[in-house]
Chain A
Amino acid sequence: MTESATGVDTKPRAPGGLVRGTLRTLRNEFTDKERRLGYILVTPAIAIILAIALFPLLYAIWLSLQEIIINQSSSFVGFQNYVDMIQDPDFHSALINTTVFTVLSVSLELVLGMAIALALNRAFKGRGIARATALAPWAFPPAIAAVMWRLMFQDQVGGGILAYLIRSSGIYTHPILGSDSALIVAAVLVDVWKTTPFMALLLLAGLQVIPQEVYEASRVDGATSWQQFWRVTLPLVRPAMLVALLFRTLDAWRVYDLLWVMGNRQLNSLSVYVYNGVKISQLDFSLGNAAAVFVFLSSIAIAFLFIKVLGTRAVD
C-alpha cells in the first residue's frame, strides 16, 4: 500500500509473490542454526497442546460424520447427520429456545449489571458488604437455583409463591410450568437473578480503572452526568464490557443445567439436544455428535463476532 501510494512501485503484485515471500522467510527461519534449535525445543510443547486441544475436537468432528448406532454398525456418511439435524424440528426448537434465552438474558443482565456496577462504584458506607451481598445469587449452583425457583413457579404442592402472585395479578393465568414459552421467560428471569451480579462485578472492575481525572476534565468542560456516561464512562468501560458480554453470551449459548432442571427435562436447548441425542436416545448418537460440533463452531463464531465488532470500536 505504502509503496504504490508513493509511486515507487505501481505494478500490481504477482499473485505468487506472497507465497514465494513466505517460503523465503520460512527458509531463512530454518537455515539459522540457533532458530532451528529453538523450534526443535518447543516442538514437544506444541505437540502436547495439539494433542490436548485439537485431538478431541477432530475426533468429535470425525464421529459426527458417521452413522453410529450404539452396539451396532457404524459407517461413514459424510454430512448426512448435519442434513438430518437441520431438518429435525427438535433442532429448530432447540435453536430458537437457545437464541431467545441468550438474547433476552444477556441484554437484561448487561443493563441491570451496568446499573448495579455504577451504584457500587460510588463511595458509600458499607460498600464492601454491599458488593459481597450482591454476589450471593451467583454463588448458587445452577441446578439448585433451578430447583428452588421451580418450586416457587409451580402451583401444586403447597402452591409456589410466584405462581400465586403471577396468577392473582392476572399477568399469566395458566400454569407456568405447563407452557414452554412461559418456562423460557421464567428461566430468563432466574438467569438474570443469578448472573447479573457476575456481570456487575466484571463491569465494576472496568469502571474502577477509569481515572478520576477524565471525569474532572469533562466536568470542567461543562458535561452533564448523562453526557459523562455516554461520552466518558461507556467508551472507557468497553474493553471490560467486551469480556463480560463474551463470557455471558457463550455461557448462555451453551446453557444446559438451568433449562434441564427448570423444565424438568422437557425444555429444549442446543446442549439439551446434544445430551438427548448422545445419552438418552439409542438411535440418535450421531445426530447428537453433529449438534455438539455445531455448538462448538457457533460458539467460536459468536466469540469472533464480539471481538471483531466490539473490539475494533474500543480501539477507535
Chain B
Amino acid sequence: MTTRKVGKHRSAMGRREFLRLSGAGIAGSALLSACSGFGGEEEASGSGKVIMSHGPDPVLEGLLKKQLEDFNAQHKGEIEAIFRPMGEDYFDQLRTQFQAGGGDIDVISGDVIWPAQFGANGWIDDLSDRFTEEMQGAYLEGPLGANQYQDAVYGVPWFTDLGMLYYRADLLKQSGFSNAPATYDELFSMAEKVQSDAGVRHGHVFQGSNYEGGVVNGLEFIWAHGGDALDTEDPTQVIIDSPESAAGLETYRGTVEAGITPEAIVTFTEPECDAAFRNGDAVFMRNWPYVYGMLLAGDAEIKLNQVGVAPLPAGEGESEGFSALGGWNLFINATSDVKDEAWELIKFLTTPEAVKFRAIEGSYLSALQETYEDQEVLDQAPVYEVAGQVTDQIRPRPVSPFYGDMTLEMAEEFNNSLKGETSPEDAVATLQESMQGIIDQGTS
C-alpha cells in the first residue's frame, strides 16, 4: 500500500468515479439514487428506438428529459429516444457490456478520457463520415481533441468541464487583497491570513481522494510547476519522473503541511468540497463549473456575490496554471442497429440552441466556440466569462488506450503523496516505472 518497487501494473485500491456528481450527497446518495429512465417505453432496441445513457447527474438529467421530449415530439412515429440513467460505476458497466458483445445502448455519453480506450478496442464507431471537418471547426480545440485518436474522431463533444479556482471575494477584500492569487505562493499566504482574520475553517479545498478527481487535481499541480505525465510528442513515453513533477506534488502536500488544507483532504471528492465552500467553511476551492450553477440557485449559506472565480494559480517560476479538461461526449455504440437514428439524436443534442439551453439553465459549459461570445449566455450564466479566459489553459489528461490502468496508479500515488506517506520524489519515480510498465505491457 505504500511504496512499490516493481513496475507491476496495477492498483488494487483504485476506484473510478465520475467527475460530475453535481447535487449528489456523499456516499449514501449513490445507493439511494433512484434509477428510473424516461422518454419512451424501454424495450429491445431496433425499429427506431434509440437508447441513450449517462452517469449520475441530477441537474443534467432534468434538462435532458426536457430535450428528449422535444426530440421525440419532432420525430414522432420515426425515432423514439429513451434515456437510461446509470450508476456511479457507469464505466465498469459499459465495459462489461462491451466485453459481452456490445449491449443495447445506442448513444453512449462518455468522459473525455474514454475515447482512446473505447476506440482502440473497436467498441465505438469512428464518426469521421458523419462528423465532418466543417462541423468540427465550430468546436473548441481541447474538447474536440479529446475525441480524436489516431486519425479518427470517436465522439461529439456534449459539454465541457474545466477546473477553476473559486474564492471568497468578500473575505479577501476584508483582509486587504484585491485580486485572486496568481501563484500558489500567493494562495498560501492569502489563505493563511484570511483564515486567521475571518476564522474560516479551511484555507483551500480540492479533490484529493484516491479516485479520478484526485488524478485531475494532482496533474493540475504538476502542470502548474511545469511537469507532465506523458510526452505529448510521443505518448508511449512516460516523463513524469522530473523535478518539476516532484515540485508539483511538493506543493500538493504542502497545502496540508501549511495548515490551509485539512488532513481529511485525502478523502475529499467534489461534494465534500462544494459543501464546505457553500457553508462558508473554505476560503479557496478548486472545482468544476457546476458549483457556479449551485450558487446561482441561491439556497446556500454563501451567495454568489460573495464569490469570485479565477484561473488556477501557477507554480513557482511558472507563468500560468493549467486546468484539466473534463466533460462528456456522445459516442455511437459499434454494435448499434439504429446508427442513423442515433446520429440524429446526437445532432439534436449538440445544436447551438441545445447547448445554450443547458448553459443558461445549468451553467454547463459549451464546447462550441460561439457560445462564449453569446451575450445572452454571458448575461445569464456568468461562469462563461471566467471560462472564456481560461480556454487556452486547458490540458487533456494523458491520451492513451491504457489510460484506464494508468489512472489507477496515479490516483494511488498522488493520494499517498498527499497523505505524506510517500515523498514527491518517490511518488514520481514509482509512477515513471509503473506507468511505463503498463504501456509496454499493453503494446507488446
Q: Are B272 and A283 in contact (CB under 8 A)?
A: no
Asked, given contacts A177-B264, A265-B211, whether A90 binds B11 with beta carbons under 8 Å apart, the answer is yes
Q: Are A265 and B6 in contact (CB under 8 A)?
A: no
CB closest chain-A residue, reference B31: A147
Q: Which residues of A contact B442 (CB under 8 A)?
A: 69, 282-283
Q: Are A180 and B10 in contact (CB under 8 A)?
A: no
Most A CB atoms within 10 A — which of B12, B31, B267, B405?
B12
**Hey, what's the 0/1 contact readout for B398-411 against A, CB within 8 Å counting as 1?**
00001011001000
Flag whether B96 is at the interface (Cβ < 8 A): yes
Flag whether B15 is at the interface (Cβ < 8 A): yes
Asked, given contacts A71-B121, A283-B441, whether A156 binds B264 with beta carbons under 8 Å apart, the answer is yes
Q: Which residues of B contact A154 (CB under 8 A)?
A: 26, 264, 267
Q: Which residues of B contact A94 (CB under 8 A)?
A: 12
Q: Which residues of B contact A151 (CB under 8 A)?
A: 26-28
Instruction: Determine the distance from Cα of A232 to Cα of B20 in the docked complex, in whole angstroms.
Output: 62
Query: Contact size class for B?
Result: 35 or more
Asked, given contacts A265-B15, A280-B14, A281-B10, whether A174 binds B263 with beta carbons under 8 Å apart, the answer is yes
What's the nearest-Cβ distance from chain B to residue A171, in Å? 16
Flag whether A276 is at the interface (Cβ < 8 A): yes
Q: Are A88 and B6 in contact (CB under 8 A)?
A: yes
* Residue in A84, A89, A91, A156 whose CB lies within 8 Å of B272: A156
Q: Which residues of A contact B96 (CB under 8 A)?
A: 279
Instruction: Determine the distance from Cα of A167 to Cα of B240 in the docked complex, in whole angstroms.
Output: 38
Task: Give the segment of A15-23, A241-249, A267-275 that binds chain B.
Answer: A267-275
Instruction: Determine the distance from Cα of A270 to Cα of B5 in the docked complex, in whole angstroms.
Output: 20
Instruction: Determine the distance from Cα of A94 to Cα of B12 in the docked complex, in whole angstroms.
Output: 8
Q: Are A147 and B11 in contact (CB under 8 A)?
A: no
Most B CB atoms within 10 A — which of A150, A263, A266, A273?
A266
Q: Are A87 and B263 in contact (CB under 8 A)?
A: no
**Hey, what's the 0/1 contact readout for B233-276 against A, CB within 8 Å counting as 1?**
00000000000000000000000000000111011100110011
Q: Which residues of A contact B117 (CB under 8 A)?
A: 282
Flag whether A70 is at the interface (Cβ < 8 A): yes
Flag whether B419 is at the interface (Cβ < 8 A): yes
**Hey, what's the 0/1 contact readout for A259-298 against B, CB within 8 Å counting as 1?**
0010111111000110011011111100100000000000
What's the nearest-Cβ distance from chain B to residue A298, in Å? 17
Q: Are B404 and A282 in contact (CB under 8 A)?
A: yes
Flag whether A143 is at the interface (Cβ < 8 A): yes
Residues of chain A from 94 to 110 with CB closer than 8 A to chain B in the complex: 94
Flag whether A93 is at the interface (Cβ < 8 A): yes
Asked, given contacts A157-B26, A281-B405, whether A268 binds B12 with beta carbons under 8 Å apart, the answer is yes
CB closest chain-B residue, reference A272: B12
What's the nearest-Cβ distance from chain B to residue A98, in Å? 11
* Residue in A84, A177, A266 whose CB lies within 8 Å of B8: A84
Q: Are B28 and A268 in contact (CB under 8 A)?
A: no
Q: Which residues of A contact B8 (CB under 8 A)?
A: 84, 87-90
Q: Which residues of B contact A178 (CB under 8 A)?
A: 263-264, 266-267, 419
Asked, given contacts A71-B99, A87-B6, A175-B263, whether A282 binds B405 with beta carbons under 8 Å apart, the answer is yes
Instruction: Determine the distance from Cα of A88 to Cα of B276 in the docked complex, in whole angstroms.
Output: 38
Q: Are A266 and B13 in contact (CB under 8 A)?
A: yes
CB closest chain-B residue, reference A285: B99
Q: Are A283 and B31 in contact (CB under 8 A)?
A: no
Flag whether B16 is at the interface (Cβ < 8 A): yes
Flag whether B209 is at the interface (Cβ < 8 A): yes
* Residue in A147, A157, A276, A279 whose CB lies within 8 Å of B10: A276
Instruction: Determine the distance from Cα of A91 to Cα of B268 in the docked complex, in whole angstroms.
Output: 26
Instruction: Determine the distance from Cα of A165 to Cα of B225 in the docked complex, in whole angstroms.
Output: 40
Flag whether B438 is at the interface (Cβ < 8 A): yes
Q: Are A156 and B13 in contact (CB under 8 A)?
A: no
Flag whether B4 is at the interface (Cβ < 8 A): yes
Q: Which residues of B contact A277 (CB under 8 A)?
A: 10, 12
Instruction: Determine the distance from Cα of A84 to Cα of B7 in the docked complex, in whole angstroms.
Output: 11
Q: Which residues of A contact B16 (CB under 8 A)?
A: 265, 280
Flag whether A302 is at the interface (Cβ < 8 A): no
Instruction: Determine the distance from Cα of A89 to Cα of B437 in the docked complex, in whole angstroms.
Output: 15
CB closest chain-A residue, reference B279: A157
Flag whether A144 is at the interface (Cβ < 8 A): yes
Flag whether B210 is at the interface (Cβ < 8 A): yes
Q: Are B31 and A90 in contact (CB under 8 A)?
A: no
Asked, given contacts A88-B8, A150-B27, A180-B1, whether A282 binds B402 with beta carbons under 8 Å apart, the answer is yes
Most A CB atoms within 10 A — which of B3, B27, B263?
B27
What's the nearest-Cβ distance from chain A to residue B442, in Å? 6
Q: Which residues of B contact A265 (CB under 8 A)?
A: 13-17, 211
CB closest chain-B residue, reference A274: B12
Instruction: Determine the distance from Cα of A282 to Cα of B415 in the docked complex, in whole angstroms.
Output: 22
Residues of chain B from 258 to 312 with CB closer than 8 A to chain A in the complex: 262-264, 266-268, 271-272, 275-276
**Hey, what's the 0/1 contact readout for B203-229 against A, CB within 8 Å counting as 1?**
000000111000000000000000000
Cross-chain pairs A/B with CB under 8 angstroms, 24 sampled: A70-B99, A71-B121, A71-B122, A87-B6, A89-B4, A89-B6, A89-B8, A90-B1, A93-B1, A94-B12, A151-B28, A156-B26, A157-B271, A177-B264, A264-B267, A266-B209, A268-B13, A272-B13, A276-B12, A279-B92, A280-B14, A281-B10, A281-B408, A283-B10
Q: A265-B211, A279-B95 are in contact. List 11 more A-B contacts (CB 8 A).
A: A71-B122, A89-B3, A151-B26, A177-B264, A265-B15, A265-B17, A272-B12, A276-B11, A280-B16, A283-B9, A284-B405
